[in-house]
Amino acid sequence: MNTRSPTECPAWARLLAQAESTRTVHLRDLFASRKLVAEAAGVRYDFSRQRVDAMTLRLLANLAGERGFPEWREALLSGKPINSTEKRAAWHTALRAGASSPHEVRETLARMRTITTKLRAEKQFKRIVNLGTGGSDLGPRLLADALGDGALEVRFTANVDPRDLERALEGAAPDSTLFVIASKTFTTQETMSNAAAAKKWGGKAFYAVTSNVEAAKQFGANEILPMWDWVGGRFSVWSAVGFAAACAIGFDRFEEFLSGAREIDTHFAQAPLEKNVPVLMALIGVWNANFLGAATHAVLPYSNALRLLPAYLQQLEMESNGKRVDREGRPVEYATAPVLWGAEGTVSQHSFHQLLHQGTQVVPADFIDVDSDKTLTANCTAQADALAFGTDDPKLPPHKQYPGNRPSSVLSFEKVTAENLGRLIACYEHKVFTQGVIWNINSFDQWGVELGKELAKKILTKGK
Amino acid sequence: MNTRSPTECPAWARLLAQAESTRTVHLRDLFASRKLVAEAAGVRYDFSRQRVDAMTLRLLANLAGERGFPEWREALLSGKPINSTEKRAAWHTALRAGASSPHEVRETLARMRTITTKLRAEKQFKRIVNLGTGGSDLGPRLLADALGDGALEVRFTANVDPRDLERALEGAAPDSTLFVIASKTFTTQETMSNAAAAKKWGGKAFYAVTSNVEAAKQFGANEILPMWDWVGGRFSVWSAVGFAAACAIGFDRFEEFLSGAREIDTHFAQAPLEKNVPVLMALIGVWNANFLGAATHAVLPYSNALRLLPAYLQQLEMESNGKRVDREGRPVEYATAPVLWGAEGTVSQHSFHQLLHQGTQVVPADFIDVDSDKTLTANCTAQADALAFGTDDPKLPPHKQYPGNRPSSVLSFEKVTAENLGRLIACYEHKVFTQGVIWNINSFDQWGVELGKELAKKILTKGK
């Protein structure tokens, strides 16, 4: 594999020069003459309002090529151990490969179908409470919140703060509550502390999603669904980690969620770089972060159903690519993941859009636009246009002037369905991977969370 | 008032030199010899882990002085029209001044007490739904979420997306639902569209919080509580805008919320700069943003009750200080508000802390620490320590090294009570004001949100 630093790639220097030479070009002038849209399985990526021209796009694609992107993609999709510090694969695509999935995956999905269908039909349990944190929480929580149909009430507890579990148990009774304990090691502090509290509360029914079968049995779990070493937590919503979500939305929807992602996997594997949505998302992110100097990236879903998407993507992008050493262990001399943040539109308009339009720093944004609501789409388009074009009237008083030239993309699809949500998340997953390749970092480990855990343990032990 | 640009103040140049000369000093060495803590009415601000020394703090205080801070503070607290583009006061402190509040304020609070006490006792309404957005939503939502006692079920709808109101009405019946329409102008698109939908759903009881009494009457509001021109939306939680929150927590608690803020107002007015918590928060923010180059600021409440605090502060800070022209209408040549973002700890640890510890950009953080939970406090302290001190062992493999020297503060108090929440929010309000003074910007207008509204209207009209 290519171990050359991105800054040593010929395209990098040319991109620096390109950024310099196009510095004064305004989006008002760029936009007039074009429509830049790529499409993947019903997801349209409109990047017309990005500060790129044809040359920039070519150079960015060259950079990916010079970093050996096709080889890396092949390694990802075929399950090679690309998570080098942990000597593991990052084979989340195998979780949604349908008939081509490994036997254990298909078997697990079949079990999930049987169990969730029974739970939703028999209603022995009125409340499902998922106990998990990070990757064992954010994905199923997003999916259940966006698409839950009310057949079962499914809640999520992630914080070690007891108040979080209290909220999830409001109005619940021990006999009709099922707890799902999701933890790969079955030792996660938050999750195990909440599981113990759930037992103390009188909880009787516990399912486990874990790779530590022994510990789950010891705890008294009635059902144990597997987690695998070759799937990272933040890429695991497609696995049994999605169990609580499948309870909330039904297994047919859950399979549509998988099949949507599968379509994106095919697109990502096959589409030429200049039409490849996740690759374009990645390249434009690199352009904004490394060549235009953006420190953050806003995600603004114009959809109340997708209100938890920014929180989900915070983990996906920042835990994957918030890294400071490259695959060879050298400190990097360029920016890696920007801070990802955001909130649902139109709510965000009445909160922080002031800064987006008139603040001193440029915040590139992804707008998520759902075609089916005209008012939301109008607001979304208006915001993207206002950011890009601003006002061009020097006679306005200064506080009413908008400089514009602030880049954004619009990701759009017809409706918030399980399929489209699967497609959307898969696009971001492959974006993250592609950026990791360009930045020459391992997107699949998270050593940066260990020191805090150790120190907390020390403080707690000392306090006793 | 002082109209000199901050960069022309003598302290500015000295701070630039100070930043340069202390660039290589590590927090490991700074921290060893000190404990930097200021206290205001039970709220402790520990800034020992900030990259400041005694000289830096003196220069920052000088900068505030050279910008005429005492005069500006006096103008704020005495209700002068410091919101110059709209020729209005920003007199939110008058909303919580107790016996010294204006007559109309005391009268309104008395009405709120009568109405909310009755609503909570009689339970004619089982559900209260607040319809408002931005400042008419985030404050009462935070307060109700943090401290709601369950006596009444209070929900909040802010998005023009119909799904948001649907969620708020799940399980509700028209006869037992009270809608509170909060909109200063009674024309806010989101709020009025949701109010209309509520009527269509069969809603019968509507209260209004507005300054447009005529329109509220025409709509058929049963009660109308006032909003005043001299209070900005994002500073209005202390007014009748807090009505839904007062329903959720009870009026005694609401008054404690006000009295907590009042204590901070007194502290802010009287404490010397070097012991003044909101001033110190502001100065350290300026240091990090303008002299150490931080683009963002994380707020990490280690408390599930305070999970909505980051969203609240996003509006407060970014809408107030996300500005690009100064009070004289000159484009500023320095950074104003950073991007504020965050999430509740410990949940955040399993999401984006990887980037905080090992990302390529330094993110200054405010940890909010509640003393009463030992596990949360241990985690909070551990994170702050890990950020500040990192690892200091070159024999570790590169991916296990933490550079440290990443600044944070810890704001702590005994328990999440109404009083402490009032204190905390008031600290941030005065921080925002103080930074506005230093940056010479108007923190109380929001012209940056107008263009998007106009464009959306045009698109919707054209589409018809």
* DSSP three-state, residue A286: helix
**In chain B, whose CA is at the least distance from the CA of A445?**
B399
CB spacing of B323 vs A359 below 8 angstroms: yes
Nearest Cα neighbor of A62 from A26, A18, A21, A31 is A18
Task: Report chain A's C-alpha Rg in angstroms.
Answer: 23
User: Best residue in B192, B336, B355 to probe A by mutation, most A CBs within 10 Å?
Assistant: B355
Q: Which of chain A's residues have a Cβ under 8 Å away from the Cβ of B363? A: 339
- As a dihedral over the C-alpha atoms of residue B86, residue B90, residue B94, residue B96, rounded to 10 degrees, the angle is 130
Please tell me the distance in Å from A391's CA to the nearest CA on chain B. Answer: 8
The pLDDT of residue A78 is 98
pLDDT reading at B3 higher than 80: no
Using the Cβ of A349 and the Cβ atoms of chain B, whether some distance falls under 8 Å is answered with yes
A 10 A CB-CB count for B199 gives 15
pLDDT reading at B34 higher than 90: no
A 10 A CB-CB count for B176 gives 13
Asked if residue B331 lies in contact with residue A297, where contact means CB atoms within 8 angstroms, the answer is no
pLDDT reading at A32 higher than 80: no
A464 — pLDDT class (breaks 50, 70, 90): low
Active site residues per annotation of A: 319, 350, 453
| Mean pLDDT, range B346-371, rounded to an integer | 98
A 10 A CB-CB count for A329 gives 11
Tokens found for residue A395: 């006679």
- As a dihedral over the C-alpha atoms of residue B333, residue A381, residue B315, residue A321, rounded to 10 degrees, the angle is -80
| Mean pLDDT, range A229-235, rounded to an integer | 97
CB spacing of B324 vs A403 below 8 angstroms: yes
**In chain B, whose CA is at the least distance from the CA of A363?**
B339
| Mean pLDDT, range B97-122, rounded to an integer | 98
Q: Judging by DSSP bridges, how do beta strands B296-302 and A365-370 pair with one another?
A: unpaired
Question: Model confidence over A96-123: pLDDT tens digits?
Answer: 999 999 999 999 999 999 999 999 999 9
What is d(CA B146, CA B234) in angstroms, rounded to the nearest whole number?
A: 18
pLDDT reading at A390 higher than 70: yes
Question: Model confidence over A200-220: pLDDT tens digits?
Answer: 999 999 999 999 999 999 999
Question: Model confidence over B204-249: pLDDT tens digits?
Answer: 999 999 999 999 999 999 999 999 999 999 999 999 999 999 999 9
A39: exposed, middle or buried (C-beta count within 10 Å: 0-12, 13-18, 19+)?
Answer: middle
Please tell me the distance in Å from A270's CA to the nearest CA on chain B. Answer: 31
Nearest Cα neighbor of B32 from B411, B274, B388 is B388
What is d(CA A75, CA A82) in angstroms, rounded to the nearest whole number?
A: 7
Q: Which of chain B's residues have a Cβ under 8 Å away from the Cβ of A363? A: 339
Q: Judging by DSSP bridges, how do beta strands B365-370 and A43-46 pair with one another?
A: unpaired
B378 — pLDDT class (breaks 50, 70, 90): very high
Q: Write out the DSSP string of B54-87.
A: HHHHHHHHHHHHHTTHHHHHHHHHTT---BTTTT
Using the Cβ of A359 and the Cβ atoms of chain B, whether some distance falls under 8 Å is answered with yes
Tokens found for residue A227: 């987690």
Question: Model confidence over A136-193: pLDDT tens digits?
Answer: 999 999 999 999 999 999 999 999 999 999 999 999 999 999 999 999 999 999 999 9
Asked if residue A301 lies in contact with residue A307, where contact means CB atoms within 8 angstroms, the answer is yes
**In chain A, whose CA is at the least distance from the CA of B170?**
A150
Is B453 catalytic? The answer is yes
φ and ψ of B201, to 5 deg: -65, -20
Counting one residue from chain A and one from chain B, the pairs whose CB atoms sit within 8 A come to 324
Q: Which of chain B's residues have a Cβ under 8 Å away from the Cβ of A459? A: 378, 381-382
The percentage of residues in chain B with a pLDDT greater than 90, rounded to a whole number, is 97
The pLDDT of residue A224 is 98
CB spacing of B133 vs A357 below 8 angstroms: no
If you average pLDDT over every residue of chain B, what do you get?
A: 97
Q: Which of B296, B305, B459 lies closest to A339 in CB terms?
A: B296
Asked if residue A329 lies in contact with residue B365, where contact means CB atoms within 8 angstroms, the answer is no
| pTM metric for this prediction | 0.98
Among A residues 374-413, those touching chain B with beta carbons less than 8 Å apart: 374-376, 378-379, 381-383, 385-386, 390-391, 397-403
Q: Which of chain A's residues have a Cβ under 8 Å away from the Cβ of B295? A: 295-296, 339, 361
Is B126 catalytic? The answer is no
Tokens found for residue A373: 């609501």
**Active-site option among B87, B103, B200, B350:** B350
Tokens found for residue A138: 């954010």
Using the Cβ of A363 and the Cβ atoms of chain B, whether some distance falls under 8 Å is answered with yes
Q: Which of chain B's residues have a Cβ under 8 Å away from the Cβ of A302? A: 161
B28 — pLDDT class (breaks 50, 70, 90): very high
| Mean pLDDT, range A369-384, rounded to an integer | 97
Nearest Cα neighbor of A312 from A282, A343, A269 is A343
The pLDDT of residue A1 is 65
Q: Write out the DSSP string of B21-33.
A: HTTT--HHHHHHT
Q: Is the peptide bond before A346 cis (omega within 30 degrees of 0)?
A: yes
Tokens found for residue A391: 């006002």
ipTM at complex level: 0.98
* DSSP three-state, residue A209: strand
If you average pLDDT over every residue of chain A, what do you get?
A: 97
Quote the strand ranges of A204-346, DSSP E: 205-210, 223-226, 296-302, 339-341
What is d(CA A348, CA B315) in angstroms, rounded to the nearest whole number?
A: 9
Please tell me the distance in Å from A103's CA to the nearest CA on chain B. Answer: 30
CB spacing of B324 vs A85 below 8 angstroms: no
A317 — pLDDT class (breaks 50, 70, 90): very high
pLDDT reading at B32 higher than 80: no
The pLDDT of residue B4 is 83
Nearest Cα neighbor of A335 from A289, A371, A380 is A289
